A = this chain, B = another copy of it.
Amino acid sequence: MAFSQRVAQLKSSLIRDILAAAQQPDVISFAGGLPDPALLFWHESESPLPKQLAQYGPSEGEPTLREYVANYARQQLGIDCQAQQVLILSGSQQGIDLVSKLFIDPQTPIITESPTYLAALQCFEFFGADITGIPLSPTGIDLPRLQQALQQQPAFTYLIPTFQNPAASCYDAEHRQQVVQALQAARVPLIEDDPYRDLVYDEVERRPLCAQMTADDSWVYLGTFSKTLAPGLRIGFLIASPDLLPHLLRLKQAADLHSSRLGQYLVLQAVSSDSYQSHLQTLQQHYRQKRDVMQRALQAELSDIADWQCPAGGLFFWLTLKERLDTRLLLPDWLKQGLAVMPGEAFYPENQVELGHLRLNFSHASEQAIEIGVARLAAGLRKALDD
């Protein structure tokens, strides 16, 4: 039996093993990117669910939800767009699959940040992309390296400018402007992934790069309701420049015909409800507090052996060890101690792996568990450094 060449790219099960271990009841998990279950938004109404949602629906998504997204994008993000440019997705992960299908043949050059979102990396590598990863500082991507890589005419550049996963960086205004100018000059499409923007704890520049794009540019903006409402519904969206949208729509149709109409209905109910804004504020306050708990615990336990920036938003701390251990080797010991974390090595494109980073999620564990977990983390690191 012969599988496609693509299948050889399917990554090993390290990450799946960590996430499975993180499900064990006694394990403190900093590993995933799960919202706090206490803060998920849910349909509490006892009014019956509209029966017309049982029938097949449009591949583009429900017209009312597309209108809502377009309005939100114009008014709150500053993105110049119409509802016809919106495609509702079965979670924003699906947008990454569709973009990969649209652009990537074996050996197609593309650009990502380095490190970057693991499941995007896996998807791009699976389709055979030749990935150039550009290093990140806390305030943005390395501009000279980006400009150099753009000279290869990559098929697209995939960026997470705001509260990046895993590096927790957030582009400042200057980086945002200069990256847009560089992409426009090179005429390279931008794929902007923006799942964390509403999880904001400090005042900081968050204007999407897509808001600076003009009618001549090619771009896709990926958004989701998973981080603020309920990931279990699997509803996200993309907004695309008019040259790309028709192709993405046909790819969406071939992938799953359309997204759950009930999920779309519940999302629209939630974001239209009076309590949505106060829900967002509660979420921000609550996560800010957890972030602060982790920041204090890290300062107390790890400041002599690791560096990090306190994240202004999002779900993660990104630690850089002063001594660049391969953190993958420490995992079994931490798991034995009841702690699940994500090794930083997993987030780099192949052949660009950098040692000595850890990604720590602070949204899912309780405050007390954060403190205990950081102590376990520190004990494991000190033991490894002593060996």
Give residues in A with beta carbon < 8 Å to B: 1-7, 10-11, 32, 34-35, 37, 40-44, 46, 48-49, 51-57, 89-91, 93-94, 97, 101-105, 108, 119, 122-123, 126-127, 153, 155, 187, 189, 218, 226, 229-234, 243, 247, 250-251, 253-263, 266
What's the Cα separation between A353 and B35 when bound, in Å? Answer: 51
Of all chain B residues, the one with the shortest Cβ separation from A100 is B4
Q: Which of B41, B104, B266 contacts A262 (CB 8 A)?
A: B266
Additional 18 contacts, C-beta under 8 A, given A97-B255, A260-B260: A1-B155, A1-B218, A2-B108, A2-B153, A37-B52, A43-B49, A56-B232, A90-B234, A94-B255, A101-B126, A119-B257, A231-B257, A233-B262, A234-B258, A234-B261, A255-B255, A256-B256, A262-B263
Contacts A3-B102, A5-B105: A247 and B10 contacting too (C-beta < 8 A)? yes
A-B contacts, 28 listed (Cβ < 8 Å): A1-B189, A2-B153, A2-B155, A4-B101, A4-B155, A11-B250, A32-B56, A40-B51, A42-B49, A42-B51, A46-B48, A56-B226, A56-B231, A89-B256, A90-B90, A90-B259, A90-B260, A91-B256, A91-B257, A93-B256, A93-B257, A122-B254, A123-B254, A233-B261, A234-B259, A256-B256, A260-B263, A263-B263
CA distance A46 to B266 in the complex (A): 15
A171 to chain B, nearest CB (A): 24
- CB pair B42 A255 closer than 8 Å: no
Cβ-defined contact, A4 with B108, below 8 A: yes
**Bound Cα distance A218, B247 (Å):** 33
Instruction: Give this chain's copy count.
Output: 2
Which residues of the partner chain B approach A2 to less than 8 Å between Cβ atoms? 103, 108, 153, 155
Known contacts A44-B48, A51-B42; is A101 also within 8 Å of B6 by CB? yes
A45: nearest residue on chain B (CB-CB)?
B48
Question: What are the residues of chain B within 8 A of A266 when measuring CB–CB?
Answer: 262
Cα(A189)–Cα(B155), bound, Å: 34
Q: Are A256 and B94 in contact (CB under 8 A)?
A: yes
Nearest 9 CB-CB pairs, A to B?
Answer: A54-B230, A40-B54, A232-B261, A260-B260, A90-B256, A56-B231, A94-B256, A4-B105, A53-B232
Chain B residue with Cβ nearest A127: B4
For A54, what are the chain B residues with a Cβ–Cβ distance below 8 Å? 37, 40-42, 229-233
Known: A90-B256, A266-B262. A247 touches B7 (CB 8 A): yes
Contact check, B41 vs A55: say whether CB atoms are below 8 A apart: no
Name the CB-closest residue of B to A189: B1
Complex: A266 Cα to B90 Cα, angstroms: 17
- Check if A256 sits within 8 Å of B97, measured CB to CB: yes
Complex CA distance for A226 and B56, rounded to whole angstroms: 9
Q: How far is the CA of A11 from the CA of B54 in the complex (A)?
A: 28
Contacts of A260 in B (CB 8 A): 90, 232-234, 260, 262-263
Complex Cα–Cα for A34 and B258 (A): 14
Shortest distance in angstroms between A315's beta carbon and chain B's nearest beta carbon? 12
